[in-house]
Structure formats: structure tokens, C-alpha cells
Amino acid sequence: MEKVTIDGVDIYLGEADDVPMFWVGQEEPVTQVLAAWLVIGDDDLPLNPRLVGKPGVGKTSLAYHAGRLLNRPVYIFQATMDTRPEDLIITPVISEGAKIKYMASPVVSAMIKGGVAIIDEGNRMSEKSWASLAPLLDSRRYVESIVAGIKIKADPNFRFCTTMNDDASTFELPEYIHSRLQPQIFIDFPERDEELLILKTNLPFADDEILEYVVDFLQAAHEADERYSVRDGINIGRYALKRLVESGERMSSEARRERTLNYLKEAASMILDTTASGYFMDIVDEADDEE
């Protein structure tokens, strides 16, 4: 574990995240995030974008992808309604010999390493927690740890963003916080070809027939203003495939098609709800009519 010393206090840093997150399709949001982080002069500062959209549209994947494009370590902090200010900065723990060891949060680790900090689902945090980051998100670019009694300045290469679900706000953030989390970048459901590409990337072992059924389901759900996302589609497809493999039966193409659709309907009902299962029924009926 890496250790740094600030004003005579030893701080232990966390490791950057190395996770299989992929951003496929829409390039404009990536460009917008990178533009927000750009510094164009000695007196300029990076912005702190806020990625907003429905659950499962890939906000965290987008932020992670943008951070990796900068070739910098990326740290993800999962916010909850129980997040405390010290969770965001420095947490004291008892180490060997009953000594206090100061552990840096993912945010502070990113600050010191010149990395990218992502606060996931930031609108689940209280104002008190966000207030502890207020000086970091303006021209001061530092945080203060009351626990360790030190002030920590951000490396010039440090970048920050937060994701927020547009339906999951636990706390109303005050204007002085919102004004620091700019610009707001809205992530919408992808177009059909982009959604199909996302499914192929995440389900490389699936045949085209299953992927087409799942993307038809998702597109129908989007048109009906349902909140089902591509993440839901990936989970449905993955479970249906597992059911097919687990059965181990040799079937004719027609029997396999019927079994596949039954498993997709079952997965949609188990993972989402009976309404989602009904969309697969509609897809089957439309296919039969065309035949």
C-alpha cells in the first residue's frame, strides 16, 4: 500500500480501479466529458461534469472510459445515503500495535495521484457530505481532514465527475453544490444499432438471433417510455443463454427458437416484471405474422 506524508502525517492511498467497463456507441458524451476536463491556459481550471440519466444507461462506464482515455488512474467511490464526510476524505483505522492509520478515500487517492475520481450515484449523498468537497470543486482545489488535522491539495492533473440517476435522488442538493457540478451531461438510451453493438460487446458468446430478440425488446420498451435499460437486456440475455446451456438438449432450429423465447420471457419476468415478459410475447407474435 502506497504511503505519502503530508504535513508530517502519513496517509495510505487506495488502489485505482481496474474493472471491465466498456463504453460502446455514442461518442458525443465522451467528447463532452473530455472537453469539460480540458485545461486551455495557465489560469484555467477543469470543470466537474455531472452525468445524468436513467439507471443502466452506462453513466459510470462512460466516466471510467473517459478517465482511461486520459491514461490516468481512475478511482470510483460508491455513494450512499449513509456516506459521511470522513468517508470521502480520510478514515482512521486501528493498525498493528493499536496505532492509528489514516486511510485515504478513493477521492483523496485520486487527488494525490493526479487521477480521476468518480462519485457514483452522487445524489444519494447528503448536503453535509457534499459540503466537505466544496473547496475541492472550485478554484481552491483542496479538502480538509479534521480527523488527520491536515489540508490536502489536488494534483493539477486531478479530474472529477459524478453520476446521478434522474429518478433516484435521496437528497436535494443546494445550489452552491449544483453550481460546482457542471456541466450537466445527459445520457439517453442508445439508438438501435448502438444498442445492438453494446449487446454484442457484452455477450460475445450469444448468437445473432438472441441479440436481435433482446434489442427488439429494448427498443419497444424505449418507445413505450419504460425504464428498462441495456443493462437489463444484457442480464436477460445472459440468463437465457445460461438456461439454454444448462438444459444440454439437442434441438431442432424451430424447437431451439421456441425454447430461447421461453427462456427470454422467463428471464424478463424474473429480472424485471411481467410487463417486460409481455414485450417478448409481442415480438413473437409480430415475427409469426411476418412469416
| Least confident among 104-113, 134-143, 238-247 | 238-247
Choose one of 132, 165, 187: the last residue of a domain. 187
Task: Please report which confidence band the pLDDT of residue 94 belongs to, taking 50, 70 and 90 as the band edges.
Answer: confident
199 and 101 together in one domain? no
Whether 181 and 218 map to the same domain: the answer is: no
More confident residue, 262 or 50: 50
Is 197 found in the same domain as 155?
no
Same domain, 125 and 268: no
pLDDT band at 207 (very low <50, low <70, confident <90, very high): confident
- Please check whether residues 82 and 219 belong to one and the same domain: no
Residue 274, pLDDT above cutoff 90: no
Q: Does the reported pTM lie above 0.85?
A: yes
Q: What is the mean pLDDT of residues 229-238?
A: 92
Residue ending a domain, among 187, 206, 225, is 187
Same domain, 48 and 166: yes
Q: What pLDDT sits at residue 284?
A: 61
Q: How many domains is the chain built from? A: 2
CA pair distance 64, 56, nearest whole angstrom: 14
CATH number of the domain at 17, please: 3.40.50.300
137 and 250 inside one domain = no
**Residue 234 neighbours by CB distance under 10 Å:** 19
Cis peptide before 85 (omega within 30 of 0): no
Q: Which residue has the higher pLDDT, 69 or 289?
A: 69
Look up residue 146 and give its three cell numbers: 479534521
50: β partners: 162, 184
H helices present in the chain, as ranges: 28-37, 59-69, 85-88, 106-113, 127-131, 175-178, 192-202, 208-223, 230-247, 253-271, 274-290
Do β-strands 9-12 and 3-6 pair in parallel, antiparallel, or remain unpaired? antiparallel
pLDDT, tens digit (0-9, with 9 covering 90-100), for 116-131: 999 999 999 999 999 9
Does 197 lie in the same domain as 170? no
Lowest-pLDDT range of 65-79, 159-173, 202-216: 159-173
3-state helix, strand, coil in the chain (%, to 5): 45, 20, 35
Q: Is the confidence at residue 59, as pLDDT, over 60?
A: yes
Give the residue from 153, 187, 221 where a domain finishes: 187
List, for residues 140-152, the tens digit of each pLDDT value. Answer: 999 999 999 999 9
Cβ-contact 117, 111 below 8 angstroms: yes
Q: Are residues 183 and 259 in the same domain?
A: no
Q: 197 and 154: one domain?
A: no
Nearest to 214 by CA among 138, 226, 228, 223: 228
Q: Is the distance from CB of 127 to CB of 173 less than 8 angstroms?
A: yes
Q: CA 182 to CA 35: how far, in whole Å?
A: 12
Domain that holds residue 236: 192-290
Cβ contact 89:132 at 8 Å: yes
Question: Do 155 and 209 reside in the same domain of the chain?
Answer: no
In this structure, are residues 268 and 284 in contact, taking their beta carbons and an 8 Å threshold? no
Q: Mean pLDDT throughout 183-211?
A: 92
Whether residue 207 is found in the same domain as residue 266: yes
